[in-house]
Chain A
Amino acid sequence: MNFMSVIESTLAQLVGRNACYYAIAAIGLNVQFGYAGLLNFGQAAFMAAGAYGLAQTLPVLGISLWWGIALGVGYSIVLGVLMGLPTLRLRADYLAIVTIAVAEIVRLVVRSQSATRVFGGSNGLQTFSRQFRQLGIDLGIAPGKTYGFWAFRFSGRDLWVLIVGWSLVVIFGVLVWLLMRSPWGRILKAIREDEDAVRSLGKNVYSYKMQALVLGGVIGTFGGMIIAIGADSVQPDNFSRDLTFYVLTGLVLGGIAKVTGSIVGPMLFWALYAFLDSFLRQLIGNKPVRIGNTTIISTVQVGPVVFMLMGALLVTLMVYRPQGLFGNRKEMAFDGR
């Protein structure tokens, strides 16, 4: 057993690309779920909006990559309005069902064979990030070179993505922190606590909820853009129902209705994932573990086992410590009924 390599891969994932885009998505989800009490279970669709917005630029539309940012944000605004329109006047669980259904529609449509020319079918879209990488090179980050030390070694190409990604995390983190201290944020929290009370003060609750849904979605969109730009490709099946749920697990781990929670949670989620993954792999070694003729576990099965444990983590957290690591128990009052 090589403990050093377990620790190293854990630390690398703590600040890696996965943690980064999960953090951005979780900041967005936190605006909806944590502050406004909106059950958005379709964050994956918003992320897909951003990823496909970028990916469509060169391969489909033949325009500059930078237009893709506007395109992605545009997609996610449309998506947010579509999700909110039928449900924001209704009870919270309707939004949960509608968002999850819309996210599934989005995934089916972008992977559809009949829309291959627009979204690339089940293979998705590739090679569109040249301009982005060129910018990194212009700023003096050599793509081939390895930067960093000890566990934190990244190729120049990855480093550039990480710099942009974590900068976005900081920008959105500060933005949300400031917004939630503003009168606008206070109304949002008040809606979470008691919608009728806010309505009786003459505020347009529907409009505030819609703004929160769209804002959270647009932030999540940038998470999707980081996935796309990091891999220089998008695949429809990356944006399944489970993506939303894992982002949610990360958010709950860090703590709902706290900006630090929404950033640290996803980092810990991926560090824990990497730890369990490499620990189990080291434990099993090359040979499958058998009792008699029955295989108990082999290395190809480590993935499902780790995600199974992540599911158990979500259950444990919600039963024992629903406020997560940084959350405040008083802020957990999003439970209307």
Chain B
Amino acid sequence: MNPPTEMPTAPRPVHPPRIAHRCLVTLLLAMLAATFASLLVSEPAGAQGTDSVIQVQVKEQRREGGRQVNEPVPDVSVTVFDADGNEIGTGVTDEKGIVAIPVPARADYTVVLDEDTLPDDSVLAAQTPAEQAVNGESFVTARRIVNYFTGESQRVAQSTFDRWSQRIADGVRLGLVIAMCSVGLSLIFGTTGLTNFAHGEMVTFGALVAWVLNKNGLHITFAALLALIAGGALGYSMDRFGFARLRARGVGLITQMVITIGLSIMAKNFFLFRFGGRDQPYFDYTNQVGRKYGPVVITPRDLIVMILSLIVLVAVAMTLQFTRLGKATRAVSDNVELASATGIDTTKVIRLIWVAAGVLAALGGVFRGLDEQVAWDMGTGLLFLMFAAITLGGLGSAYGALLGGFVVGLMVEMSTLFGVPSELKTVPALAVLVLILLVRPQGILGRAQRVG
């Protein structure tokens, strides 16, 4: 039996316990069954010993009174990749300009130095490029040393204008992805009042499905299309078999919210279980060389992703603005009872929003995966930025989420221009999320109303 779980005074429809049972089972199955494909194909990352070490040293070379002086450069970020391009480890140089990164064996690796983390006016010397290959046979002892030299070189340091343009371009790229992922989250909130903590995992889901298909030989474009369908199916099942039934049972919103937390824990650990803890790239359009468009260097892949994102987002906005369906969606989002009274089938609209949210999240995941890499926890990190975006734009407003996503993306990437260390670049966006509630709780585009 499933007796009431909410305030006893609240009126509720009476449902047979059978529904509750099916509701749970299908809810659990929906997340798992959809990712079952990956169970058959993805090989998890095994355990690794750490007997060997790659020691990276970064030094600044200067001439002082005819003598050459080497000065250590701290706080430079370095990453080691194996021969297949998998990330092995990453680290930041200490006061001595040294960082040691453990590697599983004496094999071939690529060491990549993040040039953005070098001090402002210094560049790498020509003889030590940012990417250095390490041959397995060059491990004389367990410790292989890799040197980087910085200093004045022939290369002209990036001008302020170029740096700003580059950051803005990166910010737009991130902002487009965040906006795409947030629209669904915001609309689900607007129509049902539910804050979906599993939305980040819906993003990861799309990226992983595409990765698994891609790994099995399907080109990324087709893999992405199938991932979108899978994302839509996931959104559909989450509502049809999960939250729609919970709503019908009259389960409270906070209970539902905690259920999304449970789903998030489940899904995240399932991804870790099947996919493994390493970041993986897609197999097409990798290793592209950036091209210069005006002051901005960008790879053709990223440019196409940006254009596609923009098309999708404009299409979403147009649909919401001009079609009957879009108007119905906005009406439900505004006031469910009123929309229902005017003859809109709210159940159908909410179902549709879940499907759209699933599709957009999956697409955002694929784009993010192309942009960076695919990882089991990539959605978790994005969820914080999505929360910032929808709060900034106005909870429940679709246009607000688009605008907020954009602003948050820019804020994250541009914060380094104002001296924020790169590992803290999401902090200003999160801080704004808190501050906006102090000054304008309804967000930029939200309508002022009593919310407390």
Which A residues fall within an 8 A CB radius of B? 39, 82, 85-87, 89-94, 96-98, 100-102, 104-105, 108-109, 111-114, 193, 241-242, 245-246, 248-249, 252, 294-298, 300-301, 304-305, 307-308, 310-316, 318-320, 322-323, 329-330, 332-337
Contacts and interface: CB of A to CB of B under 8 A. Distances in A.
Interface stretch (B51-59, B249-257, B347-355): B249-257
Contacts of A294: 40-41, 43
Contacts of B433: 97-98, 101
A108 B7 CA distance: 39
A314 B262 CA distance: 5
Given A90-B452, A311-B266, 19 more contacts: A39-B254, A89-B452, A93-B195, A93-B257, A96-B195, A249-B262, A304-B273, A305-B273, A308-B266, A308-B270, A311-B265, A314-B261, A314-B265, A315-B262, A319-B251, A334-B252, A334-B254, A335-B253, A335-B255
Contacts of A245: 261, 264-265
A90 B262 CA distance: 25
A111 B24 CA distance: 39
A248 to B, nearest CB: 7
B24 A108 contact: no
When A and B form their complex, which 3 residue pairs have the shortest distance between CB atoms, in order from nearest? A335-B252, A311-B265, A311-B266
Contact of B438 (A86, A108, A241, A333): A86
Contact of A333 (B3, B7, B24, B270): B7
B80 interface: no
A246 B263 CA distance: 13
A90 B273 contact: no
A20 B433 CA distance: 34
A101 B266 contact: no
B341 interface: no
B395 to A, nearest CB: 8
Contact of B441 (A90, A242, A322): A90
B195 A337 contact: no
Contacts of A311: 262-269
Nearest to A98: B434
B8 interface: yes
B261 A248 contact: yes
B193 interface: yes
A146 to B, nearest CB: 30
A67 B92 CA distance: 32
B258 interface: yes
Interface in B395-429: 421, 423-424, 426-427
17 contacts: A39-B254, A86-B438, A90-B452, A93-B257, A105-B427, A105-B431, A112-B423, A241-B380, A252-B258, A298-B44, A307-B265, A308-B273, A319-B27, A335-B253, A336-B253, A336-B254, A337-B253
B430 A105 contact: yes
Contacts of A111: 423
A242 B28 CA distance: 20
A98 to B, nearest CB: 6
Interface stretch (B138-146, B151-159, B384-392): B384-392
B47 interface: yes
A97 B260 CA distance: 14
B215 to A, nearest CB: 13
A60 to B, nearest CB: 17
Interface in B1-33: 2-8, 20, 23-24, 27-28
B94 to A, nearest CB: 9
Given A98-B434, A108-B427, A304 B265 contact: no
A89 to B, nearest CB: 5
| Chain A interface helix/strand/loop/mixed | helix
A82 B41 CA distance: 47
Most A C-beta atoms less than 10 A away, residue of B23, B267, B272, B452: B452
Most B C-beta atoms less than 10 A away, residue of A39, A111, A114: A114
Most A C-beta atoms less than 10 A away, residue of B20, B195, B435, B438: B195
B1 to A, nearest CB: 10
Contacts of A102: 430, 434
A112 B424 contact: yes
Contacts of A295: 43-44
B248 interface: no
A319 B24 contact: yes
Contacts of B427: 105, 108-109
Given A108-B423, A300-B47, A337-B253, A101 B387 contact: yes
Given A97-B391, A112-B421, A335-B6, A318 B255 contact: yes
A310 B262 CA distance: 8
A329 B10 CA distance: 14
Contacts of A90: 437, 441, 451-452
Given A94-B441, A311-B266, A337-B253, A101 B388 contact: yes
B441 to A, nearest CB: 6
B246 interface: yes
A197 to B, nearest CB: 13
B259 interface: yes
B186 to A, nearest CB: 12
B108 interface: no
A249 B261 CA distance: 9
A98 B436 CA distance: 11
Contacts of A105: 427, 430-431
A36 B39 CA distance: 43
A100 B384 CA distance: 8
A312 B441 contact: no
Nearest to A33: B254
Contact of A114 (B272, B388, B424): B424
Contacts of B47: 300
A108 to B, nearest CB: 6
